[in-house]
Structure 1
Amino acid sequence: MFLTLQQDHLFEPWLNFKNPLVRQLAFSIASPDILKAYPDQFQIHQPFQLHSETVWQQYFHLYQSRLLYLDQHPHELEDFLNQLKSTRLGLRFEMFVWFWLRDSDYHPYELLGHSIQQIAGARTLGELDFLLKNTETQQIEHWEVALKYYLAECDFSFSHWYGLNRTDTLKRKLNHFTQKQFQFDQALDYPIQQRFVMLKGQLYVPLNTTIQQVPDWVNLQRRIGLWGYEFIPAVYTPHRLQRHEWLCPNDSPSSHAPQLWTDGLYCYQQQAEVQNFYMYRHRPLLQYRV
């Protein structure tokens, strides 16, 4: 029997919209960060914060009327996304965040800058994703945003979460945040007073994992996917997601049940009206010594 982790009553309002771009925009705002705390053994150089899932729920509710309008009249969002020529999911996610932050009537932030390069002479020191003024606290905030998909291996410890490119690990990404991306004390002549990571996406654990095996720093308010080398039984009507559907699947399946299984992300239903996610990987070829 194909298994899922028992995660009941998750907040997933992006599934209520019809337009694919609006579903992805709603996911970008409403979904919780994939982590709820610093992982064990993470060496902090420059501290940063993660927003709680209740904050993202609040921001979704503030934006809900706008999302409902865009679901019926998506042209403004479509035109904005058409500026993006890259197919990289991380940049697509950043565009959705940028679109939301530009809608200043729906959240407590003033957008001061986006993609701000920090330059010393002829040398580029780094770049800030977003510089914001929180109009409730009057604090200047530096946000770094990332969309990531990591697969757990071995004992699920901090150093054993890998991206599809195995050089992209959770450990490497968090180290880059704390050692590099949050090195600046000011930007655009504003003093930076708060630092936040907006780290969304999905984590995947091997088949037959129990909820007790998942580390306590993983946010279980976000649906956890599975990964493995096995095919999903046809009774669960699996279908392969297009790359942009990794943010949020379309309202209707965009492909048929696979005849030929290829590496990628699949959606299936084991319970009525619940979307589950499975990252299928071909088994690595065995290497024999002669």
Structure 2
Amino acid sequence: MPYAQTSFFVEPWLKYKKPIVRQLAFAIASPNILSSIPSELSIAHSFNLHTNEHWQEHYKNYESRLEQLDLDSTELDIFLSKLKSTRLGLRFEMFFWFWLLDDKYHYYKLIEHSIQIIDGPKTVGELDFLIFNNKENRIEHWEVALKYYLAEKDFSLPFWYGLNRSDTFARKLNHFTQKQFQFSHVLEQEISHKFAVMKGQLFLPKYHLNEMHPAWINPARRLGTWGTTILPPSEEFYRLSRQEWICPDLQKTSETARWWTDGLYFQRKNQHHYMYRNTHLLTP
């Protein structure tokens, strides 16, 4: 059946004033872009997804802390200043690291972050987070990813492309199941459950929104659209800065678009994200 997107979204991250706090709130509160593991994915090592309710619960428990940080974000600013890279995925991972260390607000205890698995002279893998779940009394492995994929052709898994043409949804999920979730024992701990925390946004072709869409798209997460044609100026899109891909700032950070380059554009009135791509990038 065609994808039916809800008309109401729970997006509490938009209420915060400071950009860094809005981004932290998005990291915690936003649902996964997947509602289920795609059936077309060949599973080598199984993994799970958290429910939408899981993230809503953790946001509610953390809301008072976010309000404090919105008044004074010094602690968060200092923590994020340790990151020297401009990569959004690493910045996103830092927000989770900060939250997991804030263990007065949840039932997790961070055992270790960024664990390298060494076999002789070779690094055979790396784990983002190894966590003890006090509520369930178990060890969990989380892989955290911030991804933006746009759909082409028949919307099947291999035809969702990221910013880099070689970065496809299929490749990322295959990497999860074949490589990243291959370990069952780490740091003398037996891993009970493995979770992919995969957030960001998916983009559908602007003129194909009513076509059949995969059942694994999470309807709780707002979709964007994409195209290679310039939208009418009356739609008032402006280009988002790099960090605003996580969450747009409260105030506009650029003028309404009069010309277009590759990247993500935003319409504040309708909370609409539009990915503009030059046609030469769409060739295999």
SS of structure 2 residue aligned to 1:129: strand
Task: Report the CA distance between 1:236 and its aligned residue.
Answer: 2.0
Aligned to 2:161: 162
Q: Is the 8 A contact 1:6 1:211 kept in 2?
A: no
Aligned to 2:246: 247
Give 1:130-141 correspondences, 5 Å limit. 130-141=129-140
In the alignment, the residues of structure 1 paired with residue 109 and residue 257 of structure 2 have an alpha-carbon distance, to the nearest angstrom, of 46
Q: Is the 8 A contact 1:229 1:281 kept in 2?
A: yes
- Pair 252,285 (structure 1): closer, same or farther in 2 beyond 3 Å: closer
1:234 matches 2:221: no
Aligned to 2:124: 125
- Pair 97,286 (structure 1): closer, same or farther in 2 beyond 3 Å: closer
1:284 matches 2:280: yes
Task: Report the CA distance between 1:211 and its aligned residue.
Answer: 5.0
In the alignment, the residues of structure 1 paired with residue 92 and residue 126 of structure 2 have an alpha-carbon distance, to the nearest angstrom, of 17
Deviations 1:107-146 (A, max 9, x none): 1100000001111222211111000000000010000000
- Pair 286,215 (structure 1): closer, same or farther in 2 beyond 3 Å: closer
Aligned to 1:146: 145
Task: Report the CA distance between 1:260 and its aligned residue.
Answer: 2.1
TM-score (norm 2): 0.95
Give 1:64-75 correspondences, 5 Å limit. 64-75=63-74
Aligned to 1:19: 18
Give 1:1-290 correspondences, 5 Å limit. 7-210=6-209, 213-269=212-268, 272=269, 274-284=270-280
Deviations 1:153-201 (A, max 9, x none): 0010111111121110000000000000011111111101100000001
Task: Report the CA distance between 1:75 and its aligned residue.
Answer: 0.6
Q: How many residues align?
A: 280
Task: Report the CA distance between 1:6 and its aligned residue.
Answer: 5.0
After alignment, is 102-111 or 201-210 more displaced?
201-210
Unaligned runs of 5+ in 1: none
Task: Report the CA distance between 1:22 and its aligned residue.
Answer: 0.2
In the alignment, the residues of structure 2 paired with residue 107 and residue 6 of structure 1 have an alpha-carbon distance, to the nearest angstrom, of 30
Task: Report the CA distance between 1:283 and its aligned residue.
Answer: 2.0
- Pair 136,6 (structure 1): closer, same or farther in 2 beyond 3 Å: closer
Q: Is the 8 A contact 1:40 1:158 kept in 2?
A: no
In the alignment, the residues of structure 2 paired with residue 255 and residue 27 of structure 1 have an alpha-carbon distance, to the nearest angstrom, of 21
In the alignment, the residues of structure 2 paired with residue 19 and residue 25 of structure 1 have an alpha-carbon distance, to the nearest angstrom, of 10
In the alignment, the residues of structure 1 paired with residue 282 and residue 153 of structure 2 have an alpha-carbon distance, to the nearest angstrom, of 18
Q: Is the 8 A contact 1:17 1:71 kept in 2?
A: yes
Q: Which amino acid aligns with 1:259?
A: R
Greater than 3 Å deviation, 4+ residue runs: none
Deviations 1:246-268 (A, max 9, x none): 00000011000122211110001
Q: Which amino acid aligns with 2:274?
A: Y
SS of structure 1 residue aligned to 2:41: coil
In the alignment, the residues of structure 2 paired with residue 212 and residue 169 of structure 1 have an alpha-carbon distance, to the nearest angstrom, of 21
In the alignment, the residues of structure 2 paired with residue 89 and residue 118 of structure 1 have an alpha-carbon distance, to the nearest angstrom, of 24
Q: Is the 8 A contact 1:115 1:130 kept in 2?
A: yes
Unaligned runs of 5+ in 2: none
- Pair 75,159 (structure 1): closer, same or farther in 2 beyond 3 Å: same
